[in-house]
Structure 1
Amino acid sequence: MNAIQPSRPHLEPIQSPTPKVVRKKVPQLRTQRTGALAIETTVKLAVNVIISGVAVSSLVHLLPYHQSIQTKLQEIRFEVKETEQRVSRLETEYKRTSDPQQAKNIMREQSHLVDPARRQIVLLRKDNKGIQELD
C-alpha cells in the first residue's frame, strides 16, 4: 500500500517542425489603426479650424464696438476735465464771495453805486485853450 511507486517517465512535448504564425491579420490591424488615426486627426483639425473661425469672426464683430466705446470714453474724459475746471472756478468764486473782507469789493463790482467814503478822481489836461476833462 504504502509502497514506493515507480516514477513516471518524463514526458517531452512533441515539437512540430515549424510553427505556423498567421501574419496576415497584423498588417490589416495596422492599416485599420492608421486609418482610424487619420480620421481622428482630420476631425480634430476640422473642429479646431471651426473654433478658430468663430473666434476670428467674433473679434471682427467686436472691433467696431470697441472703437465706439473708446470714442465715447474720450468724450466723457473731456467733459469730466471741463467740469473739474468749472467746479474749481466756482469754488474759488464761492470762497471769495463768502469772505467778509471781500464784501465791499464785491458790492462795488456788482452795483453801480460808489462807496461814499471814496473820493472820485478826475484827470484834467491843461491846454492853451484851458482845462479839459480826459475821457
Structure 2
Amino acid sequence: MRVMVMVKATEDSEAGVMPSSELAEAMGRFNEELVNAGVMLAGDGLKPSSQGKRVAFDGPRRTVTDGPFAETRELVAGYWIWEVKDMAEAVEWVKRCPNPMPGPSEIEIRPLYELSDFDEVMTPEATELHERTRRRLAGEHN
C-alpha cells in the first residue's frame, strides 16, 4: 500500500524558518533509514505558502490566488510517499520520526488511490492511458 505522509505546516515553517543543523541531520538519518528499508519512494519539503499559488476551478473558469494562505494548521510543509504493508506500519514509521519542527507539530498519513480502485469507472482506453503514463514515469518504454 502506498501512503502520503504529510508534515503539517507551523508558524515557523510558514515564516520560512530553516531547521537547525541537528534537525536536518536527524531527518537525513531518518530518510536514509526509510530508503534502506525500501519504504521511501519520494519526499521533499515545501517552501512557505507565501511563495505558492492556488487555482480554483468553477466550470470552465480558473481563478488564481497568490499565497500566503490562511489556516496554517491546514497547510502542508513537507511530504513523503511510502510503500508499506498497511497503515499500522506507516504509523510505526511516523512514530520513529524526529519531531520535524522546532516546536509542536503534526504528521498526517493518507492512503493513495491505486488504479484498481477505479475499476468500476475505467474504460479499457482510460486504463491503457493511465498505465502508459505510469510506465513512462517509471522509465519504462512502450
Q: What TM-score, normalized to structure 2?
A: 0.16
Q: Which has the larger radius of gyration?
A: 1
Greater fraction of residues in strand? 2
More helix by share: 1
Q: TM-score, normalised by structure 1?
A: 0.17
Higher relative CO (Cα under 8 Å, sequence separation at least 6) belongs to 2
